Amino acid sequence: MPNIIKIFSGNAHRQLASEIACHLDLPLCEAEVKTFSDGEIFVEVKENVRGTDVFVIQPTCTPVNDHLMELVIMVDALRRASARRITAVVPYYGYARQDRKNAPRVPITAKVVAEMFMAVGVRRVLCMDLHAGQIQGFFNIPVDHLYAAPVVLGYIQENFDDVVMVSPDAGGVERTRAFAKRLNSGLAIIDKRRDKPNECEAMHVIGDVEGKTAILLDDMVDTAGTLCAGAKTLIANGAKEVHACCSHAVLSGPAIERITNSELKSLVVTNSIPLRGEALSCEKITVLSVSKLLANAINRIHNEDSVSSLFV
C-alpha cells in the first residue's frame, strides 16, 4: 500500500487545518462539506484516498452537534472510499464534561461520542487537553492525548516574572502542580463552591499569592465565571496582578462581558477552538497556536514513532 498521508478538514476550524498542513508541507485535501436547507449534512470527498493514511481535523466545538456530525459523516465517506487508516484529530473534544454519572438517570455522553467515532471507522484519535483523562478509556482504539503545556509554558516564561500558579479548583491541582514544577514557582489553590452548573462562588485561597503575579490555569474557559471569581479572590488576597491560561476558549454566554469587566489582566488561550463574535475584538485575549504541536504528532503517528516523546 502506498505510504501517503492526506489531511482533510470539516468546517469547524479550517484555518487550524491549513496551518497544520503547512507545517507538514502538504496541501489541504479537497472535500465538499455542506448543509442542505433542511439541516442535513452532505459530504463528498473530491480526491482519491484509496490505501492512504488519512487525518481528519475537526474540533467538535460550537455548534457541537453540527461539527460532530460533519466529522462522523466525513469519516464514513473516507472509509467507503477505501482509506487505509482514518485518524480523527479532535483538538477540542465536545461533550467531555459529561464523562460520568453524577446524578440518577443521566447519560455518559462522552462515551456515546467515542462509540460513534469507532462505529463509523475511526481507527485512531488525536486530541488535546481532555477535560477528563478517563475519556481515553472510552475508546477501544489508540488515543493520543496531547497537552498544550509546551506552548503555554513557553509563553509564561517569556512574559511573566515572579509567578505563582493557581488552580481554580481542587480538580485542577495535578495540572497546575506540573506547571509550577516546570516553572520552579509557587502553587496556590482556590477553594470554591459550585451551587449550579456554570455558576460558582470563590471562597478563599490556599497558598501564598501576596505581591506575586498569579496565573490561573484551567483546561477550558466556558462562561468564565470560575476564572473571574477566582481573579477577584486573588486580588483580594494580595496578588499583584492576575492572568489566566486555558487550552480551550469555549467562551459561551456572558463570558466576554465577564472577562472584560473582571480583575483579569489577560486571558491566554490556544487556537484549538476558533474565536468568534465578541471574542475576536476582546483586547484581553491572547491566542497561541498549537498547529505545530499537532503537526508533529500527526507526523509521528504516520511514521509509527512515539508521540509521548514530544513531552520528554
- 176-205 pLDDT, tens per residue? 999 999 999 999 999 876 556 655 564 689
Residue 41: φ, ψ to 5° = -100, 135
Instruction: Please identify every stretch of the chain with a pLDDT value under 70, giving residue numbers as ranges.
Output: 1-2, 193-203, 311-312
For residue 162, what pLDDT is reported? 92
Active site residue 192: yes
- Alpha-carbon distance of 249 to 216, in angstroms, equals 14
For residue 191, what pLDDT is reported? 87
297: left (phi over 0), alpha (psi -120 to 50) or beta: alpha
Closest CA to 82 of 115, 54, 101, 44: 54
- Residue 87's beta-bridge partner residues? 55, 124
Between CA 280 and CA 285, with CA 281 as vertex, the angle to 5 degrees is: 75
> Hey, what amino acid is at 207?
G
For residue 308, what pLDDT is reported? 84
Cis preceding-peptide flag for 63 (omega within 30 of 0): yes
What does the CA dihedral 231, 236, 242, 244 come to, rounded to 10 degrees?
-20
Is the CB of residue 110 less than 8 Å from the CB of residue 74?
Answer: no
Among residues 192, 212, 232, 240, the one annotated as catalytic is 192
CA 26 to chain centroid, in Å, comes to 24
For residue 198, what pLDDT is reported? 59
- Alpha-carbon distance of 81 to 74, in angstroms, equals 11
- Residue 88's beta-bridge partner residues? 56, 125
Query: 14 Cβ partners below 8 Å, 6+ apart?
Result: 28
- Alpha-carbon distance of 272 to 289, in angstroms, equals 8
